[in-house]
């Protein structure tokens, strides 16, 4: 039996091995004491995406050291912990297994309660993380981080909230009635936004993951150069689809004439450097326009309390009150152009965009798992039987 210490501010070791980052973090309430992310990017680069068996092997090799570093950086040890938290899903089954197996062993060995977490809930709540004053370097970053700390402390939680999760695996509009009660109002029916940036980046030989490279190149490009359709304007719900944009990208690249041909085996980029930058700017804009178009439609309908008839959620399931806050999470949330496009869309609705205090909290990381576990801890939602915990690769956040 685990020892339960009834603190309101639990010290939690969190583990996330949902995809290609092995991460461990120590959180105290919503304060991040450490957040170690061991990236496997170099391993998967040659495959242009995550290779599950390699990911599993790398998680196995990295997990002990990652946990050790997280505890050391937080200046704590296993005995001082109040609980252990681990991502149960969604994610890659072989990858999830490693984190779960390790968390079970540690929870048993140190008699700690174990809390199972939904990775998407972690992304959705990541804006709530606060930096630890203790870990701040004595430099400019200190005042910056303290400003953000103050900003967030003044930011009282007001429900209902709309969380926009934009990652490599998911693109979802999540209605938060309160912490722990979620409804998916719309989501991608095929590729996720990050996945689509990665796939088109691959066509342009930009490496993996391509999202951040696309963002950088887009800054030097003209977004008007290549024309993309706006998907799903006739569908009356709030779902998204990125696969059509991907096909349009493929056709455009193949049909573009250029002086410098850089075709290499298996890859198709025929664009020169300026064309590539223009392409990134145009494609990124198309992806973000699709998201903001659907967001605008959703907020407009929510304000009228009149959701599209084919939306899976009925207006009666929602609170009467209008959306109070907009939160952004997931790997693509690090993108400044996406943030700007969302802010622009939110302005007429009088809503501000709330983002995590650091970009590290956007991508996969265990700190978001630890702070989500804190809310479960408050509701005593640790596992009663540790052995029953199994990975759920398709776990949904919806009620």
CB of 223 to Zn ion, least distance (A): 27
Q: Which stretch, 31-39, 193-201, 291-299, 360-368, contacts Zn ion (CB under 5 A)?
A: 360-368
Contact between 126 and ligand KG4 (CB under 6 A)?
A: no
215 binds, among ligand KG4, Zn ion, none (CB under 5 to 8 A by kind): ligand KG4
3-state secondary structure of 239: coil
Number of residues near ligand KG4 (by CB under 6 A): 20
Residues whose CB falls within 8 Å of the CB of residue 316, separated by 6 or more in sequence, listed in order:
none
Q: Are strands 130-131 and 114-118 parallel, antiparallel or unpaired?
A: unpaired
**Residue 83 tokens, joined:** 């609980």
In the bound state with ligand KG4, the residue whose beta carbon lies nearer, of 41 and 399, is 41
**Residue 220 tokens, joined:** 């030097």
In the bound state with Zn ion, the residue whose beta carbon lies nearer, of 37 and 252, is 37
231 binds, among Zn ion, ligand KG4, none (CB under 5 to 8 A by kind): none
Footprint on residues 14-43 left by ligand KG4 (CB under 6 A):
19
Counts for the chain of helices (H) and strands (E), in that order: 11, 11
C-alpha dihedral sign at 189, 194, 195, 199: positive
Footprint on residues 292-331 left by ligand KG4 (CB under 6 A):
330-331
Taking the C-alpha atoms of residue 359 and residue 332, their distance in angstroms, rounded to an integer, is: 10
CB of 242 to ligand KG4, least distance (A): 11
> Which of 121, 278, 364, 392 touches ligand KG4 (CB under 6 A)?
364
160 binds, among Zn ion, ligand KG4, none (CB under 5 to 8 A by kind): none
Q: In Å, how far from its chain's centre is CA 22?
A: 15
335 binds, among ligand KG4, Zn ion, none (CB under 5 to 8 A by kind): ligand KG4
Footprint on residues 78-107 left by ligand KG4 (CB under 6 A):
none
Provide the 10 A C-beta neighbour count for residue 97. 18
**Residue 212 tokens, joined:** 């951040």
Footprint on residues 155-214 left by ligand KG4 (CB under 6 A):
167-169, 194-195, 197-198, 209-212
CB of 172 to Zn ion, least distance (A): 11
22 binds, among ligand KG4, Zn ion, none (CB under 5 to 8 A by kind): none
Token match 């998201």: residue? 291
- The CA distances from residue 195 to 171, 329, 362, in Å, are 10, 15, 15
> Which of 74, 332, 341, 367 touches ligand KG4 (CB under 6 A)?
332
Contact between 21 and Zn ion (CB under 5 A)?
A: no
- Helix or strand holding residue 367 (H, E): helix 367-378
Burial class (CB in 10 A: 0-12, 13-18, 19+), 136: middle
> Which of 16, 20, 301, 364 touches Zn ion (CB under 5 A)?
364
In the bound state with ligand KG4, the residue whose beta carbon lies nearer, of 35 and 335, is 335
- The CA distances from residue 183 to 66, 161, 165, 399, in Å, are 34, 11, 13, 6
Number of residues near Zn ion (by CB under 5 A): 2
Token match 């990125």: residue? 242
Footprint on residues 156-215 left by Zn ion (CB under 5 A):
167
CB of 119 to Zn ion, least distance (A): 6
Contact between 301 and Zn ion (CB under 5 A)?
A: no
Residue 117 β-bridge partners: 87
CB of 179 to Zn ion, least distance (A): 19
Taking the C-alpha atoms of residue 213 and residue 280, their distance in angstroms, rounded to an integer, is: 9
Burial class (CB in 10 A: 0-12, 13-18, 19+), 108: middle
In the bound state with ligand KG4, the residue whose beta carbon lies nearer, of 108 and 339, is 339
Among the listed residues 236, 249, 235, the one whose alpha carbon sits nearest the alpha carbon of residue 191 = 249
In the bound state with ligand KG4, the residue whose beta carbon lies nearer, of 107 and 287, is 287
> Which of 215, 278, 301, 392 touches ligand KG4 (CB under 6 A)?
215
| DSSP type of residue 240 | B
Q: Which residues bind Zn ion (CB under 5 A)?
A: 167, 364
Contact footprint for ligand KG4 (CB under 6 A)? 19, 167-169, 194-195, 197-198, 209-212, 215, 330-332, 334-335, 363-364
């Amino acid at each position: 039996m685990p020892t339960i210490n009834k603190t309101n501010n639990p010290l939690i070791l969190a583990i996330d091995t949902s995809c290609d980052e092995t991460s461990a973090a120590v959180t105290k309430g919503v304060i991040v004491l450490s957040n170690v992310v061991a990236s496997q990017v170099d391993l998967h680069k040659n495959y242009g995406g995550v290779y599950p068996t390699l990911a599993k092997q790398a998680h196995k090799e990295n997990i002990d050291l990652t946990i050790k570093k997280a505890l050391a950086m937080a200046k704590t040890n296993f005995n001082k912990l109040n609980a252990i938290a681990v991502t149960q899903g969604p994610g890659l089954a072989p990858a999830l297994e490693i984190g779960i197996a390790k968390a079970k062993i540690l929870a048993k060995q140190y008699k700690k309660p174990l809390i199972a977490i939904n990775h998407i809930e972690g992304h959705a709540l990541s804006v709530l993380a606060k930096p630890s004053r203790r870990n701040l370097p004595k430099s400019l970053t200190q005042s910056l981080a303290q400003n953000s700390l103050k900003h967030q402390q003044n930011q009282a939680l007001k429900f209902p909230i709309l969380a926009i999760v934009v990652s490599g695996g998911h693109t979802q509009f999540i209605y938060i009635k309160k912490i722990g009660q979620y409804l998916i109002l719309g989501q991608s029916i095929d590729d996720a936004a990050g996945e689509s940036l990665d796939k088109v980046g691959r066509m342009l030989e930009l490496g993996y993951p391509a999202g951040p490279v696309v963002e950088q190149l887009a800054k030097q490009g003209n977004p008007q150069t290549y024309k993309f359709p706006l998907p799903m304007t006739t569908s009356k719900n709030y779902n998204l689809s990125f696969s059509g944009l991907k096909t349009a990208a493929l056709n455009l690249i193949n049909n573009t004439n250029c002086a410098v041909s850089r075709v290499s085996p298996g890859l198709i980029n025929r664009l020169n450097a300026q064309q590539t930058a223009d392409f990134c700017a145009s494609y990124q804009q198309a992806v973000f326009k699709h998201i903001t178009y659907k967001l605008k439609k959703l907020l407009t309908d929510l304000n009228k309390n009149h959701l599209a008839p084919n939306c899976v959620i009925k207006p009666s399931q929602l609170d009467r009150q209008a959306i109070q806050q907009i939160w952004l999470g997931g790997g693509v949330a690090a993108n400044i152009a996406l943030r700007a496009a969302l802010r622009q869309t939110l302005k007429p609705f009088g809503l501000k965009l709330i983002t995590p205090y650091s970009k590290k909290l956007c991508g996969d990381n265990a700190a978001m798992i630890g702070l989500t576990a804190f809310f479960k801890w408050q509701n005593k939602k640790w596992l009663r039987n540790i052995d029953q915990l199994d990975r759920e690769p398709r776990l949904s956040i919806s009620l």
